[in-house]
Amino acid sequence: MKRNIFLVFLLMSVALMFGCSSEPADSGTEGEDEVIKIGVFEPFTGANAAGGALEKEGIELAHELFPTVLDKEIEVVYVDNKSDKVEAANAGRNLVDKEKVAVVLGSWGSSFSMAAGPIFEEAQIPAIGTSCTNPLVTLGNEYYFRVCFIDSFQGVVMANYAYNEAGAKKVAIIQEISNDYSVALSQIFQNEFKKLTDDEDAIVSVSNYNTGDQDFTAQLTSIKESGADAIFAPGNFTESALLMKQAKELSIDIAFLGGDTWETPAVIEIGGEAVEGAVFSTFFDSAVPLTDTTTVFLDAYRAKYGEDKEPAAVTALAFDAYILALDAIERAGSTDGPAIRDALAATENFQGAAGIVTLDENGDAVKSAIIKTIQDGKFTYKSTVEPF
């Protein structure tokens, strides 16, 4: 009996290990009127850290180019949401209560934005999403805006690509069930694809995995004989890279389609040859400059990181989020939350590096999508899809 109690205690301590959360590290002093604080809310550690790092590049770049607004210095405060929904809420709280930032930028990963969204709204601090594409991030949240398109557009784009360009008749889905981005995108894709093929059974199977999973052999093996022409697998880049690698090991020779999260160097590093030919939708490609700001961004990027380096789409989006924040503060003429919010909501034809931003009534940017593929270990431009 004693041993049972011991084991029960063990279980409890295991639960504790998961429940424990540490406060984000403190940085900077508060209450100085001479600086305007902009909070950056990104995953810098954990499964999505590579995404956070790419967006940080864009924000650092924009900060170097435009360090002041309303004749005041801008201080950028970075907080880590640790690729975790619970930590995301803590990190959001930290920005609101302790750092008292004027505007929040971020995050890579819709789930984290959704976790912290209500906190920003309650505190009346406007937030500008960088690459969080889930429709629910801004829906019903007066204070959340974004410079990227949303999944109801992206899902339709990919379904059309699968049907028209890839010639797929049957598609298998592998989604990251614990990731709001992945589930919503796959749902929209499924609806649209069924409509396009006019076939209720066009989606041959839907299987799930969890964030952080490393073994997908079971899911993939089931697809092997399902007769799918393509696999749509939106999800975090590291898991997706492993997924494609294991598909290759299982000799599954079916085209992989995905979403904007795949445009991360880690996909190619981890996936190697296995990710060749994968197709995904994204926001931006340096080969097709969209606005004058694109040139400014590209010049600055190459000057800082080297001539031959290609910026990721999310880096451009993060850059846009920062300059849009500055623009809104300028138009509002103050750092008062509701005033900036109103200025943001009125954004029209804003010249961003990753395209022109016009925010709709939900605070979402309406802009074109770009389809890319992986060729010879590089992300290669395929085509542009205009908003419908």
Site for other proteins contains 346 (CB under 8 A): no
Tokens of 143: 């204070």
Q: Cis check for the bond before 22: say yes or no (omega within 30 of 0).
A: no
Q: At what angle do helices 292-305 and 49-65 cross, to 10 degrees?
A: 110
Question: 349: left (phi > 0), else alpha (psi -120 to 50), else beta?
Answer: left
Nearer to other proteins, 13 or 29 (CB): 13
Task: Report DSSP letters for 317-340, one per residue.
Answer: HHHHHHHHHHHHHHHHTS--HHHH
Structural contact between residues 196 and 180, judged by C-beta atoms closer than 8 angstroms: no
CB of 90 to other proteins, least distance (A): 16
Site for other proteins contains 253 (CB under 8 A): no
| From candidates 21, 68, 164, 221, binder to other proteins by CB under 8 A | 221
Alpha carbon distance 349, 312 (integer Å): 23
Restricting to residues 82-141, name those near other proteins by CB under 8 A.
none
Nearer to other proteins, 219 or 294 (CB): 219
Site for other proteins contains 13 (CB under 8 A): yes
Structural contact between residues 129 and 145, judged by C-beta atoms closer than 8 angstroms: yes
Q: Point out which span in 95-103, 190-198, 210-218, 329-337 binds other proteins (CB under 8 A).
A: 210-218
Restricting to residues 50-89, name those near other proteins by CB under 8 A.
50, 53, 80
Length of the chain (residues): 388
| From candidates 3, 348, 361, 386, binder to other proteins by CB under 8 A | 3
| From candidates 65, 206, 356, 366, binder to other proteins by CB under 8 A | 206
Restricting to residues 174-203, name those near other proteins by CB under 8 A.
177-178
CB of 369 to other proteins, least distance (A): 26
| From candidates 124, 187, 208, 362, binder to other proteins by CB under 8 A | 208
The dihedral sign for the CA sequence 77, 362, 345, 96: negative
Contacts of 226 by beta carbon, 8 Å cutoff, 6+ apart: 170, 172, 204, 205
Structural contact between residues 181 and 111, judged by C-beta atoms closer than 8 angstroms: yes
H or E, element range at 33 = none
H or E, element range at 73 = strand 72-80
Q: Point out which span in 42-50, 65-73, 143-151, 355-363 binds other proteins (CB under 8 A).
A: 42-50
Site for other proteins contains 366 (CB under 8 A): no
Please give the single-letter amino acid code of residue 38: I
CB of 21 to other proteins, least distance (A): 12
Q: How many helices (H) and strands (E) does the chain have?
A: 12, 15
Restricting to residues 258-317, name those near other proteins by CB under 8 A.
266, 269-270, 272
- With CB under 8 A as the rule, give the number of residues binding other proteins: 52
Question: Which residue ranges make up the site for other proteins (CB under 8 A)?
Answer: 1-4, 6-8, 10-11, 13-14, 17, 44-47, 49-50, 53, 80, 177-178, 205-210, 212-215, 217-219, 221-222, 224-226, 238, 241-242, 245, 248-251, 266, 269-270, 272
